Amino acid sequence: TAEIMKDVTLGFGEALQHCREESQLSEEKMEEFFHFWREDFKFEDRELGCAIKCMSSHFNLLTDSHRMHHENTDKFIKSFPNGEVLSKQMVEMIHACELQHDATEDHCWRILRVAECFKLSCTKRGVAPTMELLMAEFIMEAD
Ligand code: BOM
């Protein structure tokens, strides 16, 4: 499952370049999206929430109210090898996190909190990808 999450992260992360400008996220704050899974990663910058919002809409994963679009997110995850193993669980985890932070009105801040909560849920359930796995593939892709 860590392998699946690695593929989904790298796929999702491809939208980062596209979103850097509109989210005002500087390269110094996040050079590559997979750093999201680092143990010491800080969820402090509103711009990161804006970047995740932009990246999600790039793949059509948000509704008009800037919540997760369940069907599209399920399809997106299933588009990766063995994605069907994790898609239901991921959609449920993200949705539970959304409910937990529903009172946060600012979309960028709420999405940042949802992302932080999602990462924690993944870690607790042992489905988070390791940095070794992410780095190895990222370097291979760059060649
Ligand atoms: O309420 C808005 C929902 C958007 C939150 C998305 C959280 C995901 C954080 C980023 C982690 C990415 C790894 C894979 C993404 C699959 C959707």
Query: Measured between alpha carbons, how far is 55 from 108 in angstroms, rounded to an integer?
Result: 12
Roughly what angle, to the nearest 10 degrees, separates helices 83-100 and 2-13?
Answer: 70
Q: Report the alpha-carbon distance of residue 59 to residue 54 in Å, rounded.
A: 9
* CB 142, CB 17: distance < 8 Å: no
Q: Whose CA is nearest to atom 17 of ligand 1?
A: 73
Mean pLDDT of 95-124: 98
Q: Can you say how many angstroms the Cα of residue 129 is from the centroid of all Cα atoms in its chain?
A: 12
- Does pLDDT of 86 surpass 90? yes
The residues pairing with 68 across neighbouring beta strands, listed in sequence order, are 62
State mean pLDDT over 88-112: 98
Amino acid present at 66: H
Q: How far is the CA of 114 from the centre of ligand 1 (A)?
A: 8
Sequence spans of domains, the chain? 2-142
Is the beta carbon of 113 within 6 A of some atom in ligand 1?
Answer: no
With tokens 């593939």, the residue in question is 137
What does the pLDDT look like over 8-39, one tens digit per residue?
Answer: 999 999 999 999 999 999 999 999 999 999 99
Q: Domain 2-142, what architecture?
A: Orthogonal Bundle (1.10)
Confidence (pTM): 0.95
94 in contact with ligand 1, CB cutoff 6 A:
yes
Is 98's C-beta closer than 6 angstroms to any atom of ligand 1? yes
CA 6, CA 127: separation in Å to the nearest integer? 10
The whole-number pLDDT of residue 17 equals 93
Query: What is the complex's ipTM, to 2 decimals?
Result: 0.90
pLDDT at position 60 is 98
